[in-house]
Amino acid sequence: MARSGVKTRMLILSDTHGLPLEDKLPKQPIDVAIHCGDLTEESKLDEFRVTLRNLQAIDAPLKLVIAGNHDFTLDTPVFRKILEEATPSIDEQLMRKEYGEYDEARGLFMEAQSQGIRFLDEGTHRFLLGNGGTLCVYASPCTPSLGESGFQYHPSQGHFYDIEEDTDSVITHGPPQGIMGQNTFTGKGWLFGSLRSRRPSTAKAPLLRSHP
């Protein structure tokens, strides 16, 4: 339920990794669909296109999407670093075909806005819903890790989650520390602290599996 008091039906997805899901998605209309990241397995353009087709098949006027660590081409500084470290051993023409230019994957989501799809960077976003309600969400793709994939930070450095007091839903790629975390780095202690102090009406990622 959005904080406006209007009952709101939501569909939560996560970790679909570029797999086609049209036959598995619910047919009934909903108010908001939310994808909590790992849209792809290898961050290839074709995988993003499959994910967009999945989202387009959902009968919802608003579809909110964040990235996950697998979606590294959406994190341009990380994408640049990966390409720089791989050069000259890679086939640049093949890389462009598979992964696109910088920001090309983001462009796919911009083109899909007419279908109600909204790609969310980290921060607070507010929406007027088709059912008359309002929805304030805090989105963050960031996860703690010792690796160097997309949207990751070192566990020792921590990360500040600037969740505003009137937030209805928190959409993250990983859960707070102690909730569905299967290893040391999956649960995010900094996120737990922010959620505890703000207490949004719903926190989306903890409802899902705890893939880092």
> What local confidence, expressed as pLDDT, does residue 202 receive?
52
The two three-digit tokens of residue 106, written as one number: 């983001």
pLDDT tens by residue, 113-128: 999 999 999 999 999 9
Rounded Cα gap, residues 14 and 36, in angstroms? 5
Rounded Cα gap, residues 64 and 21, in angstroms? 17
H helix or E strand, kind and range, residue 119 = strand 117-119
Check if the beta carbon of residue 163 is closer than 8 Å to that of residue 189: no
Return the bridge partners of 152, or none: 143
> What local confidence, expressed as pLDDT, does residue 1 receive?
52
Sign, Cα dihedral of 9, 172, 25, 105: positive
pLDDT tens by residue, 127-137: 999 999 999 99
The CATH code of domain 10-207 reads 3.60.21.10
pLDDT tens by residue, 142-180: 998 877 789 998 888 888 888 898 999 999 998 765 454
The two three-digit tokens of residue 66, written as one number: 């964040």
pLDDT tens by residue, 178-210: 454 454 444 445 454 454 455 555 544 433 333
The two three-digit tokens of residue 8, written as one number: 């709101």
> What local confidence, expressed as pLDDT, does residue 176 receive?
66
**pLDDT (mean) for 44-68:** 98
